[in-house]
Chains A and B, each alone.
Chain A
Amino acid sequence: MNEQLRVISELNRVIHEPGRLMIIALLAVVKECDFLYLLHETEMNKGNLSSHLARLEEARYVEIEKTYRGKVPQTLLRLTRSGRAAFDEYRKGLKAAFSSAHDTGTRQADMKKLKSPLLESKPATPRQGFHNRFMG
């Protein structure tokens, strides 16, 4: 198999799913956040977000803690050490795949093959853009 395609095929599929990638990317730069924050930033619906979080928790990438803020229930979310490592690995893999594509001069064709949401056109606003590309 072509080296570049091999790198792409080895990308972490749990993270590569657009909704989950968005969640992981948001969690990667914070210590912790709650469900409402992810709901607001990702603009997913509750069910969709919950199912993605369940999948990430199953893979032990995200830690979910049910607690209370005053009398209001709060779900705190944070990335685990293995989740952070997996995300770093995923970023490196993606970068390697596209840098090798660039080297061989076949970048455009491979971008279409991969159909990665991260490679599409510029969004109107960052958040809407992500939502449209990932969810739309």
Chain B
Amino acid sequence: MNNELQKCLELPKRYNNIDGTGEMAMGLMGLGFTFLNYLSAILPKNSMWRHGLPSMVLFVGGLLLMFGVLHWGPKAIKQHITWPRTGYVAYRVGGKSWWTMMTVAVVLGAVPACLICFDRRHDWRSLTWMGNVVIFAVGYGYWICRFSREHSWKWFVLLFMALGLFAIALIAPADFKGLWRPMLAFVCLTWLGSGAATLYLYIRHTQPPAQKAE
């Protein structure tokens, strides 16, 4: 009984990614972070963009640009494509599950941050990012299993992701420290591609109602 009712209660959550914007947003966010990190790694040590105010401007500017794209991009797709076709939904902020998610996110962020700050002997930064990549891939599998079963082709996306990560680990010339960047970029590009495919299929299979909505 509860399972059936629970499935109905989860329908709005599934609806969030009906047009692939959830995956695309995750992909763009990850690519943005990877790009900013890569930029800070390849800049010469004496470059002005690595020190003081310019480095802050670069970092904050990059973040603002990224969050701008993340905020307005999916919103534009929802407004012009999704809402006229299959309806508008505004989600609740707050509630038990939302706070649980936020707490887990804060703890998962705070623990590696503390390790990076206080334990200089180990390279926690690389280890954290490697762990994140694995968590993202496993989390994606869980998400497909729970919220995206109607798109069975996403299992192949997950398989492609796993094989790709394995291949990068084998053939990438980078050492352990730099390995997480191509891995994260690959995961995020796969999400972006999967989201774009979902959007394409959504547009192809749904038409806006011929008359007014009601």
Q: Which residues of A contact B (CB under 8 A)?
A: 22, 25-26, 28-41, 46, 50, 69, 72-76, 91, 94-95, 98, 116, 118-119, 125-127, 129-130
Contact = CB atoms under 8 A, between A and B. Distances in A.
A34 B87 contact: yes
Interface of B: 1-2, 4-5, 7-15, 83-84, 86-93, 149-150, 209, 212-214
Across chains A and B, which 10 residue pairs bring their CB atoms closest together, nearest first? A37-B87, A36-B87, A25-B8, A31-B90, A35-B214, A34-B88, A40-B86, A33-B89, A36-B213, A118-B4
Which secondary structure dominates where chain A touches chain B?
A: helix
Contacts of B83: 34, 36, 69
B89 A28 contact: no
In this complex, the member of A25, A129, A130 whose beta carbon has the largest number of chain B beta carbons within 10 angstroms is A25
B214 A73 contact: yes
A47 to B, nearest CB: 11
B213 A29 contact: no
A118 B5 contact: yes
22 contacts: A25-B5, A26-B12, A28-B9, A29-B9, A31-B91, A31-B92, A32-B89, A33-B88, A33-B89, A34-B83, A34-B89, A35-B87, A36-B86, A37-B89, A39-B87, A69-B83, A74-B213, A95-B2, A118-B4, A118-B5, A119-B4, A127-B11
B7 to A, nearest CB: 5
B1 A116 contact: yes
A36 B88 contact: yes
A91 B4 CA distance: 12
Nearest to B95: A29
B18 to A, nearest CB: 9
Nearest to A71: B212
B100 to A, nearest CB: 15
Contacts of A25: 5, 8-9
A30 B91 contact: yes
Given A30-B12, A94-B1, A118-B5, A72 B88 contact: no
Contacts of A76: 88
Given A25-B8, A37-B87, 14 more contacts: A22-B8, A25-B9, A29-B92, A30-B90, A33-B87, A33-B90, A34-B213, A35-B214, A36-B87, A94-B1, A95-B1, A95-B2, A126-B8, A130-B8
A46 to B, nearest CB: 7
Contact of A72 (B1, B13, B89, B213): B213
A98 B1 contact: yes
A32 B83 CA distance: 13
Contacts of A50: 214
Nearest to B2: A95
A41 to B, nearest CB: 6
A130 B93 CA distance: 26
B90 A26 contact: no
B210 to A, nearest CB: 13
Contacts of B9: 25, 28-29
A25 B2 CA distance: 12
Contact of A69 (B7, B88, B89): B88
A119 B86 CA distance: 28
Contacts of B149: 125
